């Protein structure tokens, strides 16, 4: 399947999401990968990860870029050679890319019950307003994870803790947005994070 969804966040920021239905061969054949990218994808043990990697290159093409326009720094953060900001995500059968003139972050996660078992590893303050009797408990946990992951990518600071440094204020799924705070090294910053749900997945994206 080609492009699944495009979100025009503002005049400088766009999100594109790909639903990964093609085979590895079909995804690979039209691409011109850098030698480094070819080595990287060949080392991946999971075909699902390989297809996710390749689908991101198709999303780059939707923006008018190629694999040769993308590079990674020593922390694994992606960058574009023209100076625009980029963030990348993929989860199972979906991948996403956000590009902007400002710092950004994006995350897609599949909504799964197993997130309840690891919630105490990334949630502290948020337990004050969450209830596991709530029918949307798993969905809300997934939103919180995606919000924190998108902010972690935006902030790009080693040592930032989901549990201790990022908090998400109460929200409703239907609102499609929430406010989050980063409290790190005596500095507090407020962010409005947008999120959407589709086909059992959650996507959140953050802008500086």
Domains of the chain: 3-102 (3.90.470.20), 107-207 (no CATH)
pLDDT score, position 74: 86
Query: Model confidence over 17-64: pLDDT tens digits?
Result: 999 999 999 999 999 999 999 999 999 999 999 999 999 999 999 999
Residue ranges in the chain modelled with pLDDT below 70: 1
pTM, two decimals, is 0.95
Each as own residue / partner, the long-range contacts of residues 127-134 (CB below 8 Å, 24 or more positions apart, any chain) are 129/170
pLDDT score, position 1: 57
pLDDT score, position 162: 96
User: Which DSSP helix (H) or strand (E) runs through 150?
Assistant: helix 137-155
pLDDT score, position 193: 97
Query: Model confidence over 69-79: pLDDT tens digits?
Result: 999 998 889 99
């Amino acid at each position: 399947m080609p492009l699944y969804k495009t979100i025009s966040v503002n005049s400088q920021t766009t999100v594109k999401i790909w639903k990964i239905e093609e085979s590895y061969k079909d995804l690979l054949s039209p691409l011109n990968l850098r030698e480094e990218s070819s080595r990287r994808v060949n080392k991946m043990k999971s075909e699902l990860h390989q297809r996710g990697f390749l689908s991101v290159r198709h999303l780059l093409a939707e923006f008018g870029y190629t694999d040769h326009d993308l590079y990674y720094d020593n922390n694994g953060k992606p960058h574009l050679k023209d100076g625009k900001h980029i963030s990348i995500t993929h989860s199972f059968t979906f991948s996403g890319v956000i590009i902007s003139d400002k710092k950004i972050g994006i995350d897609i996660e599949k909504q799964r019950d197993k997130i309840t078992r690891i919630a105490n590893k990334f949630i502290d303050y948020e337990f004050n307003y969450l209830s596991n009797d709530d029918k949307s408990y798993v969905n809300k946990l997934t939103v919180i994870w995606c919000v924190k992951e998108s902010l972690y990518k935006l902030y790009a600071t080693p040592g930032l803790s989901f549990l201790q440094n990022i908090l998400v204020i109460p929200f409703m799924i239907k609102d499609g947005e929430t406010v989050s705070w980063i409290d790190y090294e005596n500095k507090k910053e407020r962010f409005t994070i947008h999120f959407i749900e589709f086909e059992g997945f959650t996507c959140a994206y953050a802008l500086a």
